[in-house]
Amino acid sequence: MSSGTTHLQDTPDDFIWLEEIKGETAVDWAIQQSKQTRREFAESERFEAVRDDVLDCLNASTQIPGVRKCGNLFYNFWQDEKNPRGLLRRTTFESYRSDAPEWETVLDIDALGEAEGQSWVYYGIQVLAPDYQHALLHLSPDGGDASAIREFDLSALTFVEDGFILPAAKSRVSWIDRDRLFVATDFGQDSMTTSGYPRIAKIWQRGTPLEQAETQFVVEPNDMSVMVFHDDTQGFERNFVGRVIDFYHREVFLLDEEQGLLAIDVPQDAKFSTWRDWLLVSPASDWQVNGETYPSGSLLVTDFSDFMAGGRQFTSLFTPWATTTLDNYSMTRDYLILSVMDNVVNRLDVLKPEGGLWTRAGLGDAPDLSKISASGIDDETNEFFMTVTGFLQPTSLYYGILGEENGRPAEIIKQAPGYFDASAYQVAQNFVISDDGTQVPYFVISAKNIALDGSNPTLLYGYGGFEISLDPYYLGVTGPAWLERGGVFVIANIRGGGEYGPRWHQSALKEKRLRAYEDFSSVAKDLIARKITSPAHLAAQGGSNGGLLVGNMLTRYPELFGAIICEVPLLDMQRYTQISAGASWIAEYGDPQKADEWAYIQAFSPYHNIDPLKIYPPVLFSTATSDDRVGPGHARKMAAKMQQLGIEDVYFYENTEGGHSAAADKAQNAFKRALVSEFLWRYIADK
């Protein structure tokens, strides 16, 4: 059969009307379903107690405020009970490291929403260096990805009258200087890709209407998006534009004022970044260049100017092995900090270029099966923050300075509180052999005195896509909401993720997708074989791509589970490219409009694999009306179809706000977590 595009006749779909995000009939259906789910699980004293406990954890004033340095001040976005939509605030470093920092409010998002009659959700800030006076504030009207952008004066603490302003859209912007912006937004007809992202990059001059912005680059309608970026490192300022062809391929150009567009000649599937004099490249597939072959997942460095002049002499800073991968890297002024994972547990290496060579040393230490990370505070100093955390270990924040002369060893400056008594619990890392013989790791967090009799309520969580790794993190909310209630928590590091680099991800792409689901089901079977749990007491949970994962557990392995939590999911894989931003994920799943690709996609499309003759575990679908990334139509349709077929214990809950996170503030987050906890407790614990 030809691989050319074929406009397939969609399988008859009685529920396509539920894809209309704000359609009156669809929204009314979602409201009625959500009310029923609330009545079932959210109207008891136990629910209220769990929700209140979770909310207390989320609102705790003793949490470590994450900060970002802008000039001499450190900025933080903070939400609590008094400020549910949050405060953008700032302080000095000396104040920040004290036990009781003195914060100056930059913008009160709750007050802004009340004054403007709009429940704004804060979506970030872009500050112009080096004066750090002007900023671009991103504000979403409903928590979705589309956000309004408004210029803000950080000295006067007011919005700039007649400043740069864009209405809500999935825009891409970057400061060039005080009076110019890179802007890619919805310019009107034919300005957006089929994925719903901008395809035109322009430079917008202050004081001129947006319509007069000068076009710099245009991508194809079927590309994912145009990209724009200004590197503001002093002395190394550079402008970049390019095509994001799909999630894993791009063509990038240096925008030179004299020579125009100059291609960054690296493989389309390579990740790259600039750091002062240097170009850093990490290829996703083996790369042959200048007589050398560099393996997938390596990190290479070369002089940027030499590379643009045609030089191809690289130094390899990291080479992966069977169990190792480069998790990420960060920079200070003079140092490069690498985070290297080995069997999903990481370490830190510090590198420095000296005399044509790169020196290397370790940084920090962490307990077994925990997570250590570090990042440069800015690009003007060698200061860094380092965090250490683990499933049972609250986060510790360290501050240090790299360097032999003026260096300072990392010292702890903040300690997050513990929300439960961790001494009663243990962490183990197990490995299981999947269907094709691949070894798959997973973490188990349980009571030390766990009885291996198959009776423990166990929640198995996974994702398995887009090269995203599931690392150790503190179970601050999961502790009181699940562990202290007698539950076991499991994280599966299945293929499709990035736990072993690009190869781990690529081994579950497109026609290989079922490998991820075989891995997850193999973990479930291993938990049962070890008598940690049993099918009646085992639940699976996942969101987004993880929602597709547990949707396949529901339809392919229903006998393994006693309950399924399916959040903001993809489920209709025949129409996913026509729903919200779905077309942007063809590189991950394949194109269902091509007959030969739909042939394998259909095997992992839960919406098309519901069998009315099978017995399914209870399932809770959750989503948000404002999710403009995946779209609520997937969850709505799946729940409606299962209910129409007479399948019992199918529940649906839709929040209006929050976008793809399905929660616009901490109160909504606490409600969602308590709802899940009560659903699970009814079906896998109260037995």
- Catalytically active residues, by annotation: 544, 660
Cβ 602 vs Cβ 574: under 8 Å: yes
Q: Which residue has the tokens 């699970």?
A: 680
The two structure tokens encoding residue 343: 């069997």
The DSSP-derived string for 80-121 is -SS-SS-EEEEE-HHHHTSSS--PEEEEEHHHHHHHHT---E
Nearest-angstrom CA–CA distance, 197 and 244? 10
- Quote the DSSP letter at residue 198: B
Secondary structure class of 620 (helix, strand, coil): strand
Q: Which two tokens stand for residue 35?
A: 């009310």
Neighbours of 485 (CB within 10 A): 15
Q: What is the spatial distance between Cα 529 and Cα 527, in angstroms, rounded to a whole number?
A: 6
Phi, psi of 397 (to 5 degrees): -110, 130
Cα–Cα distance measured from residue 180 to residue 174, given in angstroms and rounded to the nearest whole number = 9
DSSP letter string over 525-557?
Answer: HHHHHTTS--GGGEEEEEETHHHHHHHHHHHH-
Q: Alpha-carbon distance 390 to 159, whole Å? A: 41
Residues, the chain? 687
Per DSSP, the residues of 409-452 read EEEEEEEPPPSS-GGGEEEEEEEEE-TTS-EEEEEEEEETT---
| CA-wise closest residue to 295 among 272, 320, 267 | 320
Helices H, strands E: what count in the chain?
A: 13, 39
The answer to whether the CB of 87 falls within 8 A of the CB of 506 is: no
What residues pair up with 519 in beta bridges, in sequence order? none
291, amino acid identity: G
Cβ pair 394, 474 in contact under 8 A? yes
Largest Cα separation within the chain, whole Å, is 73
b/e 109-147 (16+ beta carbons within 10 angstroms → b): bbebbeeeeebbbbbebbbbbeebbbbbbbbbbbbbbbb
How far apart are alpha carbons 248 and 686 in whole angstroms? Answer: 45
Q: How far is CA 417 from CA 101, 376, 472, in A?
A: 17, 25, 17
CA distance 291 to 293: 7
What is the amino acid identity at position 385? F
- Rounded to 5 degrees, what are φ and ψ at 90? -150, 160
Q: Could you identify the residue written with the tokens 């000068």? A: 214
Match 């999630």 to its residue by tokens: 247
